[in-house]
Structure 1
Amino acid sequence: MSLPLVLGPFAMKLLPPRLNTRLQLRKKLRRASGFQIAIAHRLRQLNVEDWRSVTAGQSFYFSPEYLQMIEAAGPANLEPRYALISDDDGPRATVCMQIVQVSLDHLGEQRNHKLKVPFKERVLICGNLLSYGQHGVCFAPGSTPAELWPAVAEALYRTRRSEKLDGQTNVILVKDILEADKMPSACLGELSYSAVETEPNMVLTLPEGIHTHDDYLASLASKYRNAVKSQIYKPFEAAGFRIERLEQVTPFSARLQDLYLQTHTNAKLRPFMLEQEYWPALALAAAASIAFHVAVKGSQIYGFVVTLKDAETAVVWHIGFDRETAANGVPLYLRLLHASLTQAIDFRCRRVSFGRTALAPKARIGCRPEPMQIWVRHRQPLLNQAIGPLLRLIQHEDAPECSPFKKTANHSEGL
């Protein structure tokens, strides 16, 4: 029972104005938002044309082509859910959700686990575990996000409640909230969600006048330019490797999967695992907006990177490489990052999103950290009070200060 109902209207008037205002806001937010909300397990159960009317021209991650590809070829432990939010004038927002079942298998090497009891948890994600960025909520052009976030919260609540037949879903996580999303989504804080900072996304903003990778190298200070050539390109080529674009993905999907698993199994947190069928399905869904590049020696592939053109941003997305070869001194990972950067320039993108791992080498490329946070809530009030502080105790890497570009007015304006 909520505090306003316990106190009653007369007692509420006796409270300090600030507390009274907060409780009234909380009471308002805990009522139905007034929007029409349709929730579905599969995108085809909704009006796909209404969905497109909201998401057209926005991120690829909201497109029906991508979402239906995930339904068909996504991770086995991930179930999609969708919500379409409308008012009397039509569709106003879309919500992409994922229910993921996690266990100790997804939290690192089994032999290192200190827990000796079975652990399984169903988590409702607003967003996309396969990407980094705010890919949970898309607002129709002209909409005011702050007016629609209460409806998003209602959609999440209704979705969680509807999952009881399949098992209790205790945790809701709204992932990868950017700086611009913090204030519009602040109503979640009034609904007992906790804001927790995560690792930043490393983003490179290319200055005007860069049309090739050689232009990019020329824009670097000599110290960093020489390091790229002598520490990445030279040893890579001296070892007999070259970079090629993969025109046909299907014939090589087994090798891509093997390289992906070599990288994936080394991660500390791996809440999902992609399957071999995912790679050709992704290439088909994204079509001309995606490029697969591979590191090749002879006829053998030793590494790959996937680059996506997502509106005006290029995303350095999936990457995998042969760990034994890398351990022997071949800079596969760094060379693949530069292959993806080259493709981003070819895509005519000035903004390149490199993700939230390996912050130091990405800082040397010229990336700046873009802060991100999550909103998280547990359905049990006592556990919900603890979950935010506990998650804030997790240490995450801070990006180092690095300024690899020449000190020119042009580049300062570009940033």
Structure 2
Amino acid sequence: MKNIHFKIYTAITELPIEWDNVSVANHFLQTPYLSVLEKSASVNMQCFFIGIFQNNELIGTSLAQYIDLNKLESFGERDTCFKTLFRNFMLKNFASHVVFMGNNMITGQNSYTFSKDIGFKNISETMMQCSQALIQYFKKKKIKIHLVSFKDFYAVCATKLQQFEFKNLYEFHTQPNMIFNLQPDWKSKDDYVASFTKKYRDQYKRARKKSSAITLKELSLTEVVVLENTLYSLYYYVAKNAPFNTFFLSKNHFSTFKKQCGNRFRVFGYFLHDKLIGFHTLLLNGKVLETYFLGYDEQHQKENMLYLNMLYNMTEFGIENQFEKIIFGRTALEIKSSIGAKPVYMSGFLFHTNPIINRFIGNIFPKLEPETSWNKRNPFK
């Protein structure tokens, strides 16, 4: 295709009026969600909205995020080994200014959407040109971008992109995305549980019995606003104890999300004696259910098998509301496989703006990734 060009926007109010029509295939590139990022981005994040045009017609939309790791108080405090200390040193000194072409806050192929097929050659060229434009944008602000990462592509797309402008970029694979393809004949939780082997049916019964004193309730916008501080503290505990973070949500993130997206964003609270001890959130993206951030009180989590019960509740919501699949993301791989999710490996691509470091990025990058070992489970007959 000819006459493809792009424009980078820094505010939702600047976007073309046809933006949401072009982004109709992905809620995460529509203005309600992008407004959430604009109004409640992490303190170390700035978002850019990219319109892709053919002549004067908007045919594609994309998202980029700048992350300043110098503003992050912690990369994650669960692990304190030498490798973690080395990773933190390297990130602070050689990779603290990062541009993500895509969305670093969610897992999945959400980098771009198009209203017509422009081919992977055009896509790769446009994405590379956008990254260079952002590098120059920050250079004018006296900020040197260290790393550029093109985030989350399924295998077919990754292979296609590598045939063109991505061919000289370093391809990396982090932890797999845990995806649960729901069976069409499951109409209720009873159908789901009946498909388990005895071992996992017993696990389900044990988890449900452990949480019998807990009340699950979907929270309205008013309730999310009232409980905002508690929601954030529960989220922050889990996030801070993760093996690795590049951002922390802002304190008004959940209420902003609920205000902007309404029933596309669902918040479920777990109450013990009227006290909020945990929550999980879901994003409704067409026929795909996306799990989002959650939080819990560690003491009650262990005693009530809270996290496992959250996974069961998310799955049952997906079945009862006839979603085709659930995106569970990259953490807690083994326990997610125990409820039926399967690993799907995705590719990312990156380059370092320092040519010497970039030459050895294939040796350096694997040392920055947290090690993960896990056993794949199959709960079904």
Q: TM-score, normalised by structure 1?
A: 0.83
Shift of 1:110: 11
- CA–CA separation in structure 1 for the residues paired with 2:256 and 2:166: 38
Gaps of 5+ in 1: 1-32, 407-415
Conserved in 2, the CA contact under 8 Å of 1:303 and 1:336? no
Q: Which amino acid aligns with 2:166?
A: G
Distance 1:233 1:402 in 2: 20
Query: Matches of 1:55 and 1:236 in 2, distance apart?
Result: 40
Among 319, 331, 334, the alignment partner of 1:360 is 334
Aligned counterparts, 1:9-158, within 5 A: 34-47=3-16, 49-56=17-24, 58-88=25-55, 90-103=57-70, 105-109=73-77, 112=80, 113=85, 119=93, 121-158=96-133
User: How many Å apart are 1:170 and its aligned residue?
Assistant: 1.8
Query: Residue 179 and residue 396 in structure 1: after superposition, are their counterparts in 2 closer, same or farther (change >3 A)?
Result: farther
1:279 aligns with 2:246: no
Q: For residues 249 and 95 of structure 1, what CA distance do their matches in structure 2 show?
A: 29
The equivalences for 1:4-403 within 5 A come to 34-47=3-16, 49-56=17-24, 58-88=25-55, 90-103=57-70, 105-109=73-77, 112=80, 113=85, 119=93, 121-166=96-141, 167-186=143-162, 187-190=164-167, 192-230=168-206, 232-237=207-212, 240-247=213-220, 248-327=223-302, 329-393=303-367, 394=369, 396-397=371-372, 400-403=375-378
Cα separation, 2, equivalents of 1:315 and 1:290: 10
Q: What letter is aligned with 2:150? A: V
Distance 2:272 2:152 in 1: 37
Distance 1:177 1:188 in 2: 15
CA shift, 1:380, in A, is: 1.4
Give the counterpart letter for 2:58 in structure 1.
Answer: P
SS at match of 1:267: coil
Distance in 1 (alpha carbons) for counterparts of 2:126 and 2:175: 28
Alpha-carbon separation, structure 1, partners of 2:21 and 2:310:
36
User: RMSD value over aligned CA atoms?
Assistant: 2.2
How many angstroms does 1:344 deviate by? 1.6
Partner Cα distance (1:344, 1:111) in 2: 33
- 2:225, 2:267 → 1: CA distance? 11
Partner SS state of residue 351, structure 2:
strand
Distance in 1, Cα, partners of 2:257 & 2:321: 18
Query: Do 2:12 and 2:31's aligned partners in 1 also have CA atoms closer than 8 Å?
Result: yes
Report the alpha carbon displacement of residue 325 of structure 1 after superposing the two structures with TM: 2.1
* Structure 2 counterpart of 1:208, one-letter code: P
- Secondary structure of 1:376's counterpart equals strand
CA deviation after TM superposition for structure 1 residue 326, in Å:
2.4
Distance 1:36-1:364 versus aligned 2 partners, 3 A rule = same
Identity of aligned residues (%): 21
Query: Residue type matched to 1:172 in 2?
Result: V
* 1:117-171 CA distance string (max 9 Å, x none): 9747210011112111122222224443443221121111112112112211121
More off after superposition, 358-367 vs 149-158: 149-158
Query: Does the aligned pair in 2 maintain the 1:293–1:339 contact within 8 Å?
Result: no
Q: How far apart in 1 are the matches of 2:77 and 2:185?
A: 47
Displacement of 1:337 in angstroms is 1.3
Shift, 1:318, TM fit: 1.0
User: Is the contact between residue 199 and residue 396 of structure 1 (CA under 8 Å) also seen in structure 2?
Assistant: no
The structure with higher relative contact order (CA 8 Å, sep 6+) is: 2
Give the drift of 1:81. Answer: 1.1
Give the distance between the partners of 1:262 and 1:218, measured in 2 at CA.
Answer: 35
**Relative to structure 1, is the Cα distance of residues 405 and 146 closer, same or farther in structure 2, using a 3 angstrom cutoff?**
farther
Distance in structure 1 (CA, Å) of the matches to 2:89 and 2:363: 24
| Matched AA of 2:9 | A
In structure 1, C-alpha distance between the alignment counterparts of 2:281 and 2:261, rounded to whole Å? 11
Superposed CA offset, 1:286-342 (max 9, x none): 212222112111110111000111111111211100012224x22111111112112
Amino acid at match of 1:55: S
Query: Contact between 2:77 and 2:242, CA under 8 Å: does it hold in 1?
Result: no
Q: 1:225 to 1:132 in 2, by over 3 A?
A: same
In 2, are the aligned partners of 1:243 and 1:339 still within 8 Å (CA)? Answer: no
Contact 1:293 1:340 in 2 (8 A): no
Q: How many residues align?
A: 367
Against the structure 1 CA distance between its residues 141 and 219, is the aligned structure 2 distance closer, same or farther, given a 3 Å change threshold? farther
SS at match of 1:249: helix
